[in-house]
Amino acid sequence: MKKFIVLLFIPLALLVAQCHRNIKTTKNMSSVQQTTVDSTVNQLVAKYGEKQKEKITRGVTQAAALWVKTDGKDADFKQFCLDNYMGDDKKLDELFQRLETNLEILFGNFNRISLDLKRPLHIDKGEMIPIDDLFGAYEPTAHMNDDFFANKIAFITILNFPCYSLQEKKDLSPKWDRKQWAFARLGDLYTSRVPADVLQKYSDAYTAADNYISAYNIYMGNLVDDKNQSLFPKELKLITHWGLRDELKSHYTGDKGLEKQKMIYQVMLHIINQDIPDSVINNPSVQWNPVTNKVTRNGKEVSNTPEPDTRYAKMLGIFNSLQGIDKYNPQYPTYIQRKFEQEMEIPQAELEKLFIDFITKPEIKQVAQLIQARVKRKLEPFDIWYDGFKPRSNISEDELTNKVRAKYKNVEDFQNDLPNILMKLQFTKEKADFIASKVSVDPARGSGHAWGTQMKGDLSHLRTKFPKEGWNYKGYNIACHEFGHNVEQTLSMYDVDYYSLAGVPNTAFTEALAFVFQKRDLDLLGIKNDDPLKDYNQTLDNFWSCYEIMGVSLVDMNTWKWLYQHPKATKAELKAAVIQNAKDVWNKYYADVLGVKDCPLLAIYSHMIDDPLYLSAYPVGQLIQFQIEGYIKDKNFANEIMRIYTYGRPIPEVWMKHAVGQGISIDPMLKATDEALKKVNR
């Protein structure tokens, strides 16, 4: 599952914009006159020398672009710059240290407030009541941006720590030391002025979508076939899409596995098409045949009124709220641009090309042929989730669950075992105890996530589902993934030299470590695999997983392009567009491989609804994971993870060169896949 992105940092991600000297102004802003800018620059240069001219020009110009009438007149602006520009290195360093300290206090405590207010939404401890949604949607940082422009803290930051475009960061990175990178990250904070009420509307829409997804469960024991028989345990309740997907994956072995997979597949299609009966969502009192779409209660057929396109209404709500933010970001006026060029710092077109290059490689059909030989039937659309390459594929789900339940009776057992898990991964006892002491394990209401701390002294949170009947393997597997996030969150907060560099370049990099941990789940459970082909099988599993999630990401990208082309779309129109986008991607890159045309299955992912354009982080994270795994293979695991994940937050290519000596690439995985195909028997 994803690393949970706290709403505290959503405004910061939205604030970043390309930082050329002549920043455009927004429609509602009245910039300082150019003559005032020039005279201010000239006066500061005369005082501090020509060596500072470039920085002075950049800072004054960027501050002027965001100065509005209510901030003061031109004379006020000029005097502000003359009074607050720190041309002396000692004074600049004092300002930097003060900003670092105070921003950690603010961001850390606002993060804590958000965490606590959302606790009823995320933690499974009793029923929710209506006011929980209102508190959960409240964004405590919404007014901070307004306040910091009003009290001039934002302007002081801009003036002394101006921002740089992505290309400028690439060009300057060979010359920058750690402190210069930290200065640059401070410069990313204040480059647009998004009003508090606009940010709050986004928070409301985001929370509404998140709550919708978190509470979307299917009672699997109430699914029936044409003989009115259920194939699943009565108590089994699965969240969509993650729970449904993982359940489908688990039935490549066992009794009636294919029948169960086909039934789950039909459930997914109904969710995508929104002809799923509204009465079967989160409802244990009715029976539902996903093939005929009939609903019964006590043997009598009842209404099967479909869900009223709620899935797409939530997605549309987020888009509409982001349109309100767009006009305050003149350099990147769409969420697509802000997401990729600002937050990920990888242009969307570059990632799209990377994904298409990967999923059109000839190795795709070769791996598909291997899968078909293994399952001994023609491939089905849901075989994009084929799970037979994993080391656990020859172990039944029930056996794995029994091992998990024997080891972990409750949340506290897993919490107490965190140091042991880390020591199995070669961390020293001292370091293992330290990291574990900074992580709290919580029973999730939804499928699970990791929520990181934003200040030293606070905890990161690991959320995973603990059913009343006992923990199962799926929950444990997710917990291993989330613990990887928590380890990153702890190392990149406590062991990075500057607060403004804390974290990783983007979410793909934390996903990479989560995948690294998740891959080792059986080892951590005490199940050893001595199969000499296990590494080759693991490569094929990574390869096939990338093939699947890259297609999903392309659907996500294409849908957001469509939204911006149709900004007044209705939920019904959006539904039709998503389904068509999913079919188009499928027909172009998947139909020839899996043998079925016009399949909308790639549209099932819940992140498309509650966290738009997040999905690209997964395939990028898997590529990064593969490169890290290859680099550290013969080295001390813990030492390498600490070396890599304490580097902080430069741009992605700088981070990757530090970590593994090269940028993000599909080539290592393709090369390894070619080798695996030669070694693995059908």
- Is 643 part of any domain? no
- Is 203 part of any domain? no
Of 525, 540, 555, which residue sits at a domain end?
525
- Is 190 part of any domain? yes
Structure confidence at residue 391 (pLDDT): 72
Residues 141 and 176 in one domain: yes
Q: Following CA atoms 631, 636, 637, 642 in sequence, which dihedral angle do they give, to the nearest 10 degrees?
A: -90
Secondary structure of residue 12 in the 3-state scheme = helix
Say whether pTM exceeds 0.85: yes
pLDDT tens-digit series, residues 454-476: 999 999 999 888 888 889 998 99
Residues 378 and 402 in one domain: no
Structure confidence at residue 1 (pLDDT): 52
Structure confidence at residue 3 (pLDDT): 47
Consecutive sets of 10 residues in the chain, 682 residues long: mean pLDDT of each?
41 36 45 94 98 97 94 97 97 98 96 88 79 85 89 97 94 96 95 88 94 94 95 93 94 93 98 98 96 94 96 98 91 92 95 98 98 97 94 78 94 96 98 98 82 94 86 92 97 97 96 95 89 91 97 98 98 98 98 97 97 95 96 97 98 97 97 95 62
Structure confidence at residue 7 (pLDDT): 34
- Is 416 part of any domain? yes
Structure confidence at residue 20 (pLDDT): 40
Residues 301 and 326 in one domain: no
Structure confidence at residue 553 (pLDDT): 98
Residues 580 and 491 in one domain: no
Of 525, 560, 588, which residue sits at a domain end?
525
Residues 85 and 128 in one domain: yes
What does the angle CA 135 – CA 136 – CA 139 come to, to the nearest 5 degrees? 85
Closest CA to 516 of 663, 418, 643, 621: 621
**Could you tell me which residues are beta bridge partners of residue 463?**
442, 449
Closest CA to 582 of 606, 558, 602, 561: 602
**Cα 248 from chain centroid (whole Å):** 23
Residues 486 and 604 in one domain: no
Residues 418 and 518 in one domain: yes
Residues 372 and 450 in one domain: no
Task: Let me know: does 381 contact 596? Beta carbons within 8 Å.
Answer: yes
Please give the C-alpha separations between residue 520 and each of 236, 550, 633, in angstroms, as whole numbers.
26, 23, 13
Domain range for 566 is 312-389+532-635+651-679
Structure confidence at residue 56 (pLDDT): 98
Residues 487 and 550 in one domain: no
- Is 470 part of any domain? yes
215: its two tokens: 């509470």
Structure confidence at residue 393 (pLDDT): 64
Of 194, 229, 259, which residue sits at a domain end?
194
CB count within 10 Å of CB 303 equals: 10
Q: Domains in the chain: how many in total?
A: 4
Question: How many helices and strands in the chain, by DSSP H and E?
Answer: 32, 9
- Is 641 part of any domain? no
pLDDT > 70 fraction of the chain, expressed in percent and rounded: 95
Residues 115 and 10 in one domain: yes
Task: Let me know: does 155 contact 229? Beta carbons within 8 Å.
Answer: no
Burial class (CB in 10 A: 0-12, 13-18, 19+), 253: middle
